[in-house]
Amino acid sequence: MTRAWHLFVPKLVTTLRQGYGVGDFRHDLVAGLTVAIVALPLAMALAIASGTTPTNGLVTAVVAGFLISALGGSRFQIGGPTGAFVVVVYGVIARHGYDGLLLATLMAGLMLVVAGLARVGTWVKYIPEPVVTGFTSGIAVIIFSSQVKDFLGLEMGNVPAEFFLQWAAYWEAIRSVSPPALLLSCGALALIIGLRRAAPRAPAFLLVIIAASLVAMLLRLPVETIGSRFGGIEAGLPLPSLPDVSLGQMRELLPSANATVWTYVQPL
């Protein structure tokens, strides 16, 4: 029983017991700022790609990052947004809304706790490499497909969640391609690739966001911005709330919760 109890003690507690000085705090502060510079613009981008707002992406990055660091089991653990969840989140929001997303997340969290207690993580090594490669490649294709509308600046309604329906909708709206949006998208993509090759340690995403925003503002390009689509980013953290829970909805969300678990396990 005592051995099992140690599994639930956060590494933060054991680190403080072992001794934590000013020098340790200074190094952690620099590391935290470095992660924030990369994670915050990435969180906004992934939130938009997931069909939600930049504010939700920022709040999730801040709150989840803090909880993971405070309650995690590793002294050097970093929690941040990942593109693999875009596919799952986008599909859940499109079909079940924000309440469905929150309920699916809670269900996935409970499943992960049970899997952790059952030591399921030791089975990850038996997953074939082609399965992992196919899984990650499929995620990349689906994320790319969901971003074609914004990349081309298409004038159309909400993008469908299904892959083939997405491309059917793109084909219908192909005549509304915006040349300024396309040029800005290609330039931003080329700059990200160039920076990551020439200066891997540079915050490429943040620099490209700043550069692209300045170009669009100075040249007064007729492109959609975060402000024109979502309005201003709200200050402060929203009050927590619980979703409406029913057995029927839980059954509908079970595949999404299961997909969330496997998406979480995939980076391991």
The pLDDT score that the predictor gives to residue 191 is 93
* Per-range mean pLDDT, top range of 50-64, 79-93, 190-204, 244-258: 190-204
Q: How far apart are CA 47 and CA 52, in angstroms?
A: 5
CA gap 232, 210 in Å, rounded: 17
Whether residue 44 contacts residue 229, with contact meaning beta carbons closer than 8 Å, is answered with no
- Cα R_g (the chain), whole angstroms: 21
Alpha-helix residue ranges (DSSP H) falling in 50-178: 54-71, 84-117, 129-146, 148-152, 163-172
Q: Helix 22-49 to helix 54-71 angle, to the nearest 10 degrees?
A: 140
Distance CA 36, CA 168 (A): 38
Q: CA 239 to CA 242: how far, in whole Å?
A: 10
Q: Residue 25: its pLDDT value, please?
A: 83
Which tens digits make up the pLDDT trace of 10-36?
A: 777 777 777 778 888 888 888 888 778
pLDDT, residue 8, reads: 66
* Top-confidence range, 23-37, 137-151, 252-266: 137-151
Across 75-99, average pLDDT: 79
The pLDDT-based confidence of 197 (bands split at 50, 70, 90) is very high
What pLDDT score does 261 carry?
80
Does residue 172 or residue 48 have the better pLDDT? 172
Q: What is the pLDDT of residue 265?
A: 66
- Whether the predicted pLDDT of 166 surpasses 70: yes
Asked whether residue 185 carries a pLDDT value surpassing 90, the answer given is yes
Listed as own residue / partner, the contacts of 132-137 with beta carbons closer than 8 Å and 24 or more positions apart are 132/266, 135/262, 135/266, 136/84, 136/266
For 136-157, give the DSSP string. Answer: HHHHHHHHHHHTHHHHHT---S
Q: What percent of the chain has pLDDT over 70?
A: 93
Among 104, 189, 119, smallest CA distance to 148 is for: 189
Residue 209: pLDDT above 70? yes
What's the rounded mean pLDDT across residues 64-70? 82
Query: Mean of the pLDDT values across residues 116-120?
Result: 79
- The alpha carbon torsion through 57, 58, 64, 65 (nearest 10 deg) reads 130
Predicted confidence at residue 1, as pLDDT, reads 46
Of the CA atoms within 13 Å of residue 178, those in its CB half-sphere come to 17
Instruction: Specify the pLDDT at position 6.
Output: 59
